[in-house]
A and B are shown apart, each in its own frame.
Chain A
Amino acid sequence: MVTTSGSANDLRSELDSMTIAAIVWAVLILTWVLRANLGAPSSFTLLQHQRGLLYRRGKPVREVCAGQHRVWVGVEKILFIDIRPITVSFENRAVTLTDGATAMYGFSGTAEVDDAKKALYCAGNYNDMPAFVLLCCARLVLNSQNSIGLLAKHAAIVEEIMNRAKPRLSAAGFRLLTFRMTQLGLAAQARAEK
């Protein structure tokens, strides 16, 4: 009886060690097969002035807001986007008017990210987009003015630049907050003022 009971226990322990080893190997093989889909659990915290875009295996999945977010590092990634206003300021830039005179201008403005995904994809560095759009629009509008119109229609010029810039910025995921011409005059006038 004692012998029978002992051999049954031995058989159980033999089976147990074999089963454990088999399970460990199975887990190892499974890990190896699924290695591309496995990541280490981690978490990221986005501050209130940040937005994020969650990527899984390189593809955007969803936009994430401020707070803590769990991700599988290696498979998932959160790209941070700062939504604080971007300030743009340019001074002493020259533009030729329709009558051949040269005008000097400068402006300042602010824009903020409205759509994080659009903003992230709009340019290699999304912070450059407001400056680019405002520069292009300001030059385009001023280039269509003559010397007399430039001085007489200051408010209308600002309005036109803003009207041109707003839809372009909106298409790129930005919202124009402020725009102000800080300098606008003919080059000769500017020299005399100096």
Chain B
Amino acid sequence: MDYDAIGAVLFIAALVTSIFLALRRKARPLVYITDYQCGLRYVNGAFVDVVGPGNYRVDGTNKQITIMDLRPRLIVVERIFYQDAIQSHSVISIGAELSVSDAYLAATKLKDQTVDSIAIVRDALRSTVSRSIVSHSAEARISTAAEIQKAARTDLEKFGMTLSNLEITEAWSQPVEVRMTSGAN
């Protein structure tokens, strides 16, 4: 075989390879992950790793990347009525930011990260405040908010979520003297 023939064969092979690569590239969808997201990579349905920002081409047949948004989700839990540690009728409202701390846990344990987490926060809130006595001072609000946040974080941790910037937007408790008067009547 002379050089001309070898050259022609190599050229045709290069063309065929480029067409093959172009078709393969087109068949594999592009996943673009920004710096406020992360991707969960699955191969044959099994979790492999968490991938960071960048562009990824995934084989649609056996590889998959699920994107998880790591930005905070804003929640308000309003008008929770409860009885505090001295059985006074009380009400509390909070505002907070929910975010994903462990993408794998959040994706596998929760169907809807926000809605399911709100239920957990609500439980943590109710159990924390019902053990304490409501005070209207700013300092007391801050310490109660910290307590609620800590309790909610402990519960949310198991599901790969976390809570931050919790603020009590409404807190009220029936004064003891009023309760005693109405009780006497």
Residues of A near any B CB (own CB < 8 A): 10, 13-22, 24-25, 28, 31-32, 36, 39, 55, 57-60, 74-75, 77, 79, 93-98, 100, 120-124, 128-129, 132, 135-136, 139-140, 143
Interface size, B (range): 35 or more
Query: Of A31, A97, A136, which contacts B95 at CB under 8 A?
Result: A136
* Interface-side segment among B42-50, B119-127, B148-156, B170-178: B170-178
Question: Within 8 Å of chain A (Cβ to Cβ): is B52?
Answer: yes
Cα-based distance from A114 to B73 in the complex (angstroms): 20
Determine the chain B residues whose CB is within 8 A of the CB of A124 once the complex forms.
69, 71-74
Interface centre among B52, B72, B178 (most CB of A within 10 A): B72
Q: Is A18 a contact partner of B7 (Cβ separation < 8 A)?
A: yes
Residues of B near any A CB (own CB < 8 A): 2-4, 6-8, 10-11, 14-15, 17-18, 21, 30, 32-36, 52-55, 69, 71-74, 76, 78-79, 91, 93, 95, 97, 136, 167, 169-172, 174-175, 178
- CB within 8 Å: A-B pair count: 123
Determine the chain A residues whose CB is within 8 A of the CB of B21 once the complex forms.
28, 31-32
Q: Is B171 a contact partner of A143 (Cβ separation < 8 A)?
A: yes
Cα-based distance from A24 to B171 in the complex (angstroms): 73
Cα-based distance from A97 to B15 in the complex (angstroms): 77
**Other A-B pairs beyond A17-B4, A120-B36, 20, CB < 8 Å:** A10-B4, A17-B8, A21-B6, A21-B8, A28-B14, A57-B53, A57-B54, A57-B55, A58-B55, A59-B35, A77-B32, A100-B174, A100-B178, A123-B73, A123-B74, A123-B97, A124-B71, A124-B73, A124-B74, A140-B170
Knowing A121-B36, A135-B95, A136-B76, the reply to whether A21 touches B53 (Cβ < 8 A) is no
Q: Is A17 a contact partner of B74 (Cβ separation < 8 A)?
A: no
CB distance from B70 to the nearest CB of A (A): 9
Interface of B is mostly: mixed
Determine the chain B residues whose CB is within 8 A of the CB of A24 once the complex forms.
10-11, 14-15, 18
Determine the chain A residues whose CB is within 8 A of the CB of B79 once the complex forms.
94
Q: Is A132 a contact partner of B74 (Cβ separation < 8 A)?
A: yes
Query: Of B10, B55, B171, which contacts A75 at CB under 8 A?
Result: B55
Q: Is B14 a contact partner of A25 (Cβ separation < 8 A)?
A: yes
Determine the chain A residues whose CB is within 8 A of the CB of B167 once the complex forms.
136, 140
Can you offer 20 A-B residue contacts whose CB atoms are under 8 A?
A10-B4, A14-B4, A17-B8, A21-B14, A24-B11, A25-B14, A28-B18, A57-B54, A58-B35, A58-B53, A58-B55, A74-B32, A94-B79, A96-B172, A97-B172, A100-B175, A121-B71, A139-B169, A140-B170, A143-B172
Determine the chain B residues whose CB is within 8 A of the CB of A122 once the complex forms.
71-72
Residue of A nearest to B78 (CB): A139
Determine the chain A residues whose CB is within 8 A of the CB of B73 once the complex forms.
123-124
Cα-based distance from A17 to B13 in the complex (angstroms): 13
CB distance from A16 to the nearest CB of B (A): 8
Query: Of A16, A60, A100, A123, which contacts B35 at CB under 8 A?
Result: A60
Cα-based distance from A32 to B52 in the complex (angstroms): 22
Query: Of B3, B54, B72, B175, which contacts A18 at CB under 8 A?
Result: B3
Residue of A nearest to B7 (CB): A17
Determine the chain A residues whose CB is within 8 A of the CB of B55 once the complex forms.
36, 39, 57-58, 74-75
